Amino acid sequence: MYQTRHTFIKAESRLADLIFENPGLLIVLEHFDIDYRLEDKCVEDICREHQINPELFIPLCNLYNGFSLHPLPALSGGDLIRLIRFLKNSHRYYKEEKFPQIEGLILQLDGSVPDRVFIMLKQFYQEYYEEVLEHLNYEDDVAFPYFDQLAGSSPLKQRQLFSVQEYQEHHTDIEYKLAELKQLMVKHLCLGASHRIRRSLIIALFELDFHLKVHSSIEEDLLAPLIARIESRQEDE
């Protein structure tokens, strides 16, 4: 499942080869609304077909391949709509797939572990889930609609009601409690004979942790600076 090293992706890289090396890149294609029928096309071909800036697509793919975003790509206001769509799709993935998967695994432990262990684990996860859900809903309901308008011709009144500074202040760190949950699962909980469920649950938590860290990097290193530049430019006009 995990590899210690992946290829650094370039425009001429064949996307199908990259998927065979790291199937985790499939989620990047989904978030960009790209079909999986890749044939022998290179990254540049796929970007051209789907009208995606390679300067946006390639760094995000490399991020999922384990590389950092630095040096940061030079994005423009035209990339904002694509970036927001990517993040919205990632939210849907968390809400509709990853969190239900983890909750389902926890519920499978009912009856196979001591009641106090099950209740503690379920409560701990529920508190974490509610915290993350509040964060995602804030972005979906408040931040992203504003960013969508900012990418077009939003009225000045709307821009005055919200700013990227407010977004960054609300963008709290949601990784700490997940780290605690992983520590709890790996170091402290004895789940008896439920090894299969425990293993599946721990792997799912590590996958979620990876995705959320990538998500945070995209928002903090790409989205927020891009929004700040657009706001600054519009204020000068």
Residues 68 and 100 in one domain: no
Q: Which residue, among 138, 146, 206, has the nearest Cα to 175 in the 3D structure? A: 206
For the chain, what is the domain count? 2
**In 10 A of CB 135, how many CB atoms?**
17
Residues 22 and 59 in one domain: yes
Residues 65 and 88 in one domain: no
Per-residue confidence (pLDDT) for residue 156, from 0 to 100: 44
Residues 133 and 210 in one domain: yes
Of 74, 108, 128, which closes a domain? Answer: 74
CATH (domain of 15): 1.10.3910
Of 17, 48, 74, which closes a domain? Answer: 74
Instruction: Give the C-alpha separation, 101 to 18, whole Å.
Output: 26
Residues 22 and 94 in one domain: no
Residues 106 and 214 in one domain: yes
Residues 111 and 199 in one domain: yes
Contact yes or no for 36/20 (Cβ under 8 A) = no
Contacts of 196 (CB under 8 A, 6+ apart): none
Instruction: Give the C-alpha separation, 111 to 107, whole Å.
Output: 9
Residues 192 and 129 in one domain: yes
Long-range own/partner contacts, residues 128-132 (CB < 8 A, 24 or more apart): 128/177, 128/178, 128/181, 129/99, 129/103, 131/174, 131/177, 132/94, 132/99, 132/174, 132/212
3-state class (DSSP) for residue 127: helix
Taking CA atoms, 33 is separated from 30, 116, 151, 163, 185, in Å, by 5, 43, 19, 28, 35
Tens digit of each residue's pLDDT, the chain (237 residues) = 455 568 999 999 999 999 999 999 999 999 999 988 899 999 999 999 999 999 999 999 999 999 998 888 888 888 999 999 999 999 999 999 999 999 999 999 888 778 888 888 899 999 999 989 988 998 899 888 888 888 874 444 444 445 566 655 555 567 788 888 888 888 777 766 578 888 899 999 999 999 998 998 999 899 988 888 888 877 665
User: Cis before residue 155, ω within 30 degrees of 0?
Assistant: no
Residues 96 and 151 in one domain: yes
Taking CA atoms, 93 is separated from 30, 51, 56, in Å, by 9, 23, 20
Of 12, 47, 74, which closes a domain? Answer: 74
Residues 162 and 226 in one domain: yes
Instruction: Give the C-alpha separation, 236 to 161, whole Å.
Output: 18
Residues 180 and 116 in one domain: yes
- Note down the domain range covering 133: 80-236
User: The tokens of 99 are what?
Assistant: 């969190």
Residues 31 and 111 in one domain: no
